[in-house]
Structure 1
């Protein structure tokens, strides 16, 4: 009777554990800006589309992306989603909307899903979409549609309709029908109402109410490939197996991995059989068929106490043992801890759990070794000493059984102890028979330390393994020793780095993991010592290793490298729920268990091998300057902002092969995804941006975002590759060309303007140099001409003096006639009409005239200079000179110069250039113009008269 009660209690306990494990699989997702989820759909590429109370979202497994702008027509409740070709149709509170999946833009149209036109001007709320019949004429009173062979089933606020004919499926007033579904496994229809769930036959003649869900408001259905029906209600999520078993999932405030809210508006089963649930408090995913399961320790033990797992072992009868910093757990049966009255353990720090060939379970702790007594279910503690009792197994780190049946024990600061198993068991049993909590002691048959004939490389021995030849290998920190168990001869194995982990695979090959690399000594077959090891560079510190069906799994941080002796290797990311500290493979269950702090992850051993050839990545989103880029609204505004000035995408990110951004948009993030919910381990990737990066950048974070800041303008090429087990670059999984346009001042048009300006400046500079040269040449010519004029004038002055002295006895008139006759000049009688001026004005006019004549040769002489000489203001000089001569100062200066030029030209002694420079002109054309205006002819013609 007691045995029966015990079995019943154990069954109930295991059932509770199974229920707890079953409930933990919900992954809750928060979409920024949305709370209630009304519709869920998956497109052909695997991306999830979510209809919320705020608008449309997409989800790639890492990020949620909003596809609406604040205060826009798309910023509204989305009740249903449906895809047709590249268009996604939305039944919203603002009517039917169309979203282009190729451009991520809303299409302005009054057309329905099937192409017919609508005459409604004011949008009416839609709850359903009818792609097959192409009608959007359903009002807000239609809640569900289901095409059948007999016609279109409609769930409405007033009951169930087949076409226009109402179908009564219950007595009395027909209830609101929220949901409809066709079940191919059960060959029936499901009808969800406010208050009950009904099952109908295919002829819609027989209706059966499911009593287990009476009183529940049924809101949605989803069918899995195995026939399981998921039912969303106001009281959580129900699942109904084909066998009829019903499970109920509800929100638990103590459990962050439970369903986020009990009001379930939408449920959807994707192509990988994940169940997506939309609730009043966000999105959730139930992964029923996942490649890994994370189990928090409190759900496996139903205790709030934790344990950082460092040792795992599955016995041959399938029982799991887990040890760490808080004792050892015999799963589902007992938790052995220090000072525990029911299941005591010598020390809580567990280093190793080992089962020998006879089935005995040994637990190494920081206070000796514990042998599990299967008859009493208790631990028997013992400590082994060397003959001098100086060294012991008080801090036991490892234990194994050699081919002779002896037990080898490794100790911290104690070396290695070897004891015959039978003697050891008998001694421990006898010593603890009267007092199970006592600690048995005995002396080792053989003790190996760091001194003596067979000295170890060091006294601290961390791990022990046996190779294919029966040799025992011992790791001692930075050293490894190989020991012959027959002769106890110790031979040091060369090691150039600290050995973090030592392991022997099923074939007897010995593996060493260090900081950045793994070595394997192939000892199987006819290998003879010494053996040259094979080496793999993994790039990280090795935490633990395990042999999994001929492949060695090497854990390093959050990555696991799978290495094969055939030369093939790959790596994948460990689920982020845990950082493994120990790993164990169960050949019978074909599962790999990785233990860590307060939990463990169970992986399907075949899952990583299925991702040897990584799938191509998808670009799900682009962020520029911290803002998400999206397609355009129907009015041209960015879908993500409602601001027409925000940059919009020309096409959906996932269809891009080239990204073009402005120069001030050179801070960007590319949000890649491998759809991690698609039931496969995520590979490890590395990327390089040609034109910027010189080395490969490894993606070590928990998403696949690639960010660059402050890139200069130019063209770049991004490639992403998978990384193999040794950290080598493998297959390409994504590529993208990126062009950052130059700023406006470096654009082609700007460069053209700069070229024209440079040409103009060069032309101006050349012209300036040429003008300077010309002016210098003119000044030189002017100086030469003036020198000639001075020479001629001096000549004529001397001639005049000579004539004067020669003809001094003659009268002035005779001399003048003689001179004119000599020069051939006929004097012109010019009658100058002298105005009547006051003596003061005469003196002023004389002063002005003398000043002009004195500075006549100066080409820079002007009215301002004249004012300074005579000491008069500009206005006063103007009035005086105008009154005296009838001319302005400028005209008077020019007339005197022209009069002087005419006299000189008449004399014929000087050339036109000499006359021009003499009267203060430097430009021949301007001089000719002024002279022609004064005398009606050019200087040359005047000189020829």
Structure 2
């Protein structure tokens, strides 16, 4: 019998152990989805400070509502939207001295901050040396200062007198906090608890522990004391002390708005119920995004219904109560799978059916079941969940419709088709009318109206034999959703717009041709969401009206009707419409977005569903629009700089010093409404009201004209007068409207008038001089024309004189007559010479071109051609012309016509002065290193040495001068010098004239040209179209060396011989096409880094993806823009050059693995890097010290580093420091501050800025 009892007892224990988790799970579901247990204290919003300032010691709220955070790395101000660091330093305590001043305690003692200027002031004289201040309190006009090692100081704020007190424990007693109890001021200190009585005497209470916090419960008549090891409760009258809790350090004790006692500890937030004595601990939960940021809590600050918690990882705030109870999907399903809910149903039994894109969740009183693919569903997407009149549950899915069999706990599917062969596989909505017919809407499958009885008896397959809608059948082929009214009308939004369907007559009417995202029907009015705009459609009057409500760049994701309100879930938060007056009110912005919802009347709550989250919103009473809060200007920035002369929230008249970019930050200091309030503003009393996006508090103004502007601010959507705050902004006029600008304008105007008058006079003078010059030139030209005309007229008769005279001279034998004829003939020749001189001068003036037309020509060929022209004349006179020319062509860049004229003039001059039968003319062309030398010499009489300098002057004629104008050799000099050469003459067995021409193509220059060509980057162009090849070659050859190939095979052969800098290839080619060519280039070690541009006539996405996969860097469809192609070439070549340069820098700056012979440059770089690494920790190490250590001039080092690395010495040192910092951060052994000092930075902001610029992320993020 005893054994049986023992067995039963064991069985009972096993059953209890099995049922206990189920009971706990069911309790959790009920608590989260039904009961609505208070969870407000368990959800927090986190305020993150800069990483180094995350340890928050104290929180304080000033008279206007601005929150102040004292941290170990500075003082911060927070307006609900933005956090600002005002001052650096280690601060421990903040207290308000009056409405306009804060007293701060920190490592540097006491500091006084004026709230109106946000600057430190000195309101009191003879402030004692308090040392480090740990705590502050202000009570009855007395400021109490608790120090680390100097005891207690008291300041009478009215008398400005100081008192100092030593604690019982001596100077090393740290005072952590104060608490006023009746006429005494209690002090929690390092060695216990003491108080200053009304007679200014320090009394010891007798707590033998380090006391950190104290709170006086006046109603209970006891002191709550937090020590290093216990939480104590001491009776104030008899000093009886009891231990309430142990095992933790209690940093603060404070009452909560709900009557509980809040305890700041090292293990999180503890909540003590003073009646029951139960302590609840809320700690840091890494899995909860809304949990405490840290377990270490330094202070708790209660403000109305908000609790602020200072931790060593920033600040957390929470509301004491919340209407939202959020449950994540994994906490219910115990699965990592997600679901975005789109339809929610609470059935007649109170069960929750929640459908989404990953199945259907069925939540009952005791169980939660998830139907999805592989677990009872054929398709995962649930578009509708519906309960019919028989309380059966139906679902519309992408696998037709299904009915829930509650006995088997599974869904039974039905296949629906119609006479046209369409099916209901993509079912969207279900409705049962009064005649027990099921209406099933589909996507492109038609609207099905079937008897539920016939459908259930069909065995799972049903065919609708004919359509009930006739010609309107196409209008209802796609229906996304329909809603019935109380008159037998189904209102549906379809692919064509809003449609009404009479369930009795089957009449279909298109009411509004509009694209609808969502809708709801309430009291004969349909509220429509059209791309974020809210419309109101009256079904009786057939009138559509647009409301002022609009969600920019968003939509209304869900409608829920609750009594006389329509709730709307949007990307900007929750709003509700008061259906009585049609007004829209913001409500809140939860931490999650809701995509579906339903009103649960029995619980007076709304059940929302979103992405992997379920939320219950309790509707306690009638939610009304929040009372508008006063709006302040929390900060003003002009051109990127904040104004620092005053604090704008204390002023109504704000004078700015700029006008280009004005940024105004707004705040209400209603921290519990941050996500719900919407700011409105207008400029000028007659201006238009504008709203800021939900959650935004920043107004940006730019390019305002100078003057005063009235700025009106409110959070009231109705803009009631009492809710509006007015500011006056004084904008300075542009500089060009200032008084000194006007003076400058007058000065410029006067100067301009003077310049215009002076210019006019000067122009008249120049015109006069020009006219005079033109007149003189005209007269000269007329004279010259006259001489030229007369010369032409004289040539004919003179020819008729000279020719007969020559004949007479040859025929006459009379000596006297012969002498006379010789005289006449000589004078005739002189006259002929004068005529030729005039004509040659005119020709030179007409040809007076001061420009050359260069051509790349063979000088030897030109000289030889000119000599050939004089060959016949020389042969007639028995004159020898001897040529000495190089065998190979001598290429020069010259004006061929002018050089020919030079050679002809010199040859003509030589022929004049050599004797017939004895004359010899030597023509020699030589190729020197930098010039071509042409010399023409003869064995004539030569020129007197005294006349040699004048030989090339215009009109020079020597003593032995013969026929000519004296102009020819001056032309020689002019044309030679135009080519950059020189000409000279000398007497050497006759006259020798030598001139030089700069070489265009001597071997030296040719090699330089080849070198220049080789320096051009090489482009390989591959295309089977010869015209494309020629076009691209012509377009690119001026900047690049072009190689061509007409097939992929030819291209591979070319690549085997030379590696180009870039490849441009066609995609469609016979044989190896462009894609295969890219693939081969990328898999060839020597060409794998060559950039590739793909040109093709096929511009489809598939071809582009294939090209990218094969390794093409740029894909360009034909016809292509040549400029864009050229830009792509430049960009790719620059990128490759940068990669090679970086590789070279890394190679130079890295330490070699093995000893190799180093070049001078490599040795220099090795020394530079070594010195930088050795001195990196010193912030004083700079370029000057590096140059001293290298024994090198700064300019020399700059040039060398710039040449080798492309970096200046300053940037190279900074880069080396940042590389070392990155390596140290990756080790996770040091803090950011430690790394900063190790690599020689002293400014945290400069280090962070430089690190972000180099690596794109902050040091904290990189770590």
State the TM-score bracket (shorter-chain normalisation).
0.5 to 0.7
Residue 644 (structure 2) aligned to one of 648, 651, 660: 648
Distance, in Å, in 2 between the alignment partners of 1:405 and 1:719 is: 59
**1:382 lines up with 2:413 in the alignment:** yes
Q: How does 1:99-498 map to 2 (within 5 A)?
A: 99-110=113-124, 118=127, 120-121=128-129, 123-132=131-140, 134-136=142-144, 138-140=146-148, 141-149=174-182, 151-163=184-196, 164-169=202-207, 174-183=208-217, 188-203=222-237, 205-211=239-245, 214-242=246-274, 243-271=276-304, 273-331=305-363, 333-341=367-375, 344-376=376-408, 378-386=409-417, 388=419, 390-421=421-452, 427=457, 440-443=460-463, 448=467, 452=470, 455=473, 457-487=475-505, 489-498=506-515
**1:91 lines up with 2:105 in the alignment:** yes
Distance, in Å, in 2 between the alignment partners of 1:94 and 1:15 is: 54
**1:539 lines up with 2:550 in the alignment:** yes
**Shift in Å at residue 280 of structure 1?**
0.9
**1:62 lines up with 2:62 in the alignment:** no
Contact conserved, 1:96 with 1:126, CA < 8 A, in 2? no
CA 422–90 in structure 1, closer or farther in 2 if over 3 Å, else same? farther
CA 606–219 in structure 1, closer or farther in 2 if over 3 Å, else same? same
**Shift in Å at residue 702 of structure 1?**
3.0
**Shift in Å at residue 462 of structure 1?**
1.0
The alignment partner of 1:210 has SS state of strand
Aligned residue number for residue 50 of structure 1:
69
**Shift in Å at residue 49 of structure 1?**
2.0
Contact conserved, 1:398 with 1:462, CA < 8 A, in 2? yes
Contact conserved, 1:239 with 1:247, CA < 8 A, in 2? yes
The alignment partner of 1:138 has SS state of strand
Provide, for residues 394-440 of structure 1, a one-character-per-residue CA deviation record: whole Å limited to 9, x for no partner: 2221122323444322222222333444565x549xx6xxxxxxxx3
Aligned residue number for residue 678 of structure 1:
672
**1:515 lines up with 2:515 in the alignment:** no
Distance, in Å, in 1 between the alignment partners of 2:537 and 2:296 is: 59
Distance, in Å, in 2 between the alignment partners of 1:409 and 1:755 is: 80
The alignment partner of 1:31 has SS state of coil
Aligned residue number for residue 39 of structure 1:
58
Contact conserved, 2:117 with 2:644, CA < 8 A, in 1? no
CA 52–562 in structure 1, closer or farther in 2 if over 3 Å, else same? same
Contact conserved, 1:39 with 1:50, CA < 8 A, in 2? yes
**Shift in Å at residue 305 of structure 1?**
1.9
Distance, in Å, in 1 between the alignment partners of 2:425 and 2:461 is: 10
Distance, in Å, in 1 between the alignment partners of 2:650 and 2:670 is: 20
Contact conserved, 1:511 with 1:521, CA < 8 A, in 2? yes
CA 659–588 in structure 1, closer or farther in 2 if over 3 Å, else same? farther
CA 159–729 in structure 1, closer or farther in 2 if over 3 Å, else same? closer
Aligned residue number for residue 747 of structure 1:
738
Distance, in Å, in 1 between the alignment partners of 2:180 and 2:240 is: 19
Distance, in Å, in 2 between the alignment partners of 1:696 and 1:683 is: 16
Distance, in Å, in 1 between the alignment partners of 2:348 and 2:722 is: 40
Distance, in Å, in 1 between the alignment partners of 2:753 and 2:441 is: 91
**Shift in Å at residue 121 of structure 1?**
3.7
CA 236–582 in structure 1, closer or farther in 2 if over 3 Å, else same? same
Contact conserved, 1:261 with 1:279, CA < 8 A, in 2? yes
Distance, in Å, in 2 between the alignment partners of 1:591 and 1:622 is: 42
- Which region of structure 1 is more displaced relative to structure 2, 457-466 or 15-24? 15-24
**1:25 lines up with 2:40 in the alignment:** no
CA 248–555 in structure 1, closer or farther in 2 if over 3 Å, else same? closer
Contact conserved, 1:669 with 1:706, CA < 8 A, in 2? yes
Point out where structure 1 has 5 or more consecutive residues left out of the alignment. 112-116, 432-439, 630-646, 769-945
How many residues are treated as equivalent by the alignment? 706
CA 62–443 in structure 1, closer or farther in 2 if over 3 Å, else same? same
The alignment partner of 2:609 has SS state of strand
**Shift in Å at residue 192 of structure 1?**
0.3
The alignment partner of 2:695 has SS state of coil
Provide, for residues 795-815 of structure 1, a one-character-per-residue CA deviation record: whole Å limited to 9, x for no partner: xxxxxxxxxxxxxxxxxxxxx
**Shift in Å at residue 6 of structure 1?**
7.4
CA 539–743 in structure 1, closer or farther in 2 if over 3 Å, else same? closer
Distance, in Å, in 2 between the alignment partners of 1:739 and 1:282 is: 38
**Shift in Å at residue 307 of structure 1?**
1.2
The alignment partner of 2:21 has SS state of helix
**Shift in Å at residue 479 of structure 1?**
2.7
Contact conserved, 2:353 with 2:385, CA < 8 A, in 1? yes
**Shift in Å at residue 671 of structure 1?**
1.2
Distance, in Å, in 1 between the alignment partners of 2:282 and 2:592 is: 25
Contact conserved, 1:153 with 1:161, CA < 8 A, in 2? yes
Provide, for residues 199-226 of structure 1, a one-character-per-residue CA deviation record: whole Å limited to 9, x for no partner: 2234252222123xx1101111232221
**1:81 lines up with 2:95 in the alignment:** yes
Residue 504 (structure 1) aligned to one of 511, 521, 546: 521
Q: How does 1:840-879 map to 2 (within 5 A)?
A: none
**Shift in Å at residue 553 of structure 1?**
3.0
**Shift in Å at residue 353 of structure 1?**
2.1
Distance, in Å, in 2 between the alignment partners of 1:477 and 1:732 is: 45
**Shift in Å at residue 672 of structure 1?**
0.9
Q: Tell me which of the two structures has the higher relative contact order, counting C-alpha pairs closer than 8 angstroms and 6 or more residues apart.
A: 1
Point out where structure 2 has 5 or more consecutive residues left out of the alignment. 1-11, 149-173, 197-201, 759-1263
Distance, in Å, in 1 between the alignment partners of 2:227 and 2:262 is: 15
Distance, in Å, in 1 between the alignment partners of 2:324 and 2:538 is: 31
**Shift in Å at residue 456 of structure 1?**
5.5
Contact conserved, 1:572 with 1:681, CA < 8 A, in 2? no
Provide, for residues 46-72 of structure 1, a one-character-per-residue CA deviation record: whole Å limited to 9, x for no partner: 33222211232222221112232x4xx
Provide, for residues 16-61 of structure 1, a one-character-per-residue CA deviation record: whole Å limited to 9, x for no partner: 5669977861211112362111111233443322221123222222
The alignment partner of 1:126 has SS state of strand
Aligned residue number for residue 913 of structure 1:
none
How large is the RMSD of aligned CA atoms in angstroms?
3.9
> How high is the TM-score relative to the length of structure 2?
0.51
The alignment partner of 2:330 has SS state of helix
Residue 569 (structure 1) aligned to one of 548, 564, 583: 583
Provide, for residues 571-599 of structure 1, a one-character-per-residue CA deviation record: whole Å limited to 9, x for no partner: 42762633443233333333344433233
**Shift in Å at residue 679 of structure 1?**
4.6
**Shift in Å at residue 705 of structure 1?**
1.0
Distance, in Å, in 1 between the alignment partners of 2:90 and 2:596 is: 50
Provide, for residues 454-486 of structure 1, a one-character-per-residue CA deviation record: whole Å limited to 9, x for no partner: 636130111121112132222222233322323
The alignment partner of 1:128 has SS state of strand
Provide, for residues 151-205 of structure 1, a one-character-per-residue CA deviation record: whole Å limited to 9, x for no partner: 2222111111233222235xxxx11110111335655321100011112234252
CA 667–83 in structure 1, closer or farther in 2 if over 3 Å, else same? same
Distance, in Å, in 1 between the alignment partners of 2:561 and 2:420 is: 37
The alignment partner of 2:516 has SS state of coil
Provide, for residues 601-625 of structure 1, a one-character-per-residue CA deviation record: whole Å limited to 9, x for no partner: 5445579953365333222222334
Aligned residue number for residue 1210 of structure 2:
none
**Shift in Å at residue 758 of structure 1?**
7.9
**Shift in Å at residue 676 of structure 1?**
5.7
- Which region of structure 1 is more displaced relative to structure 2, 51-60 or 584-593? 584-593
**Shift in Å at residue 550 of structure 1?**
1.5
**Shift in Å at residue 716 of structure 1?**
3.1
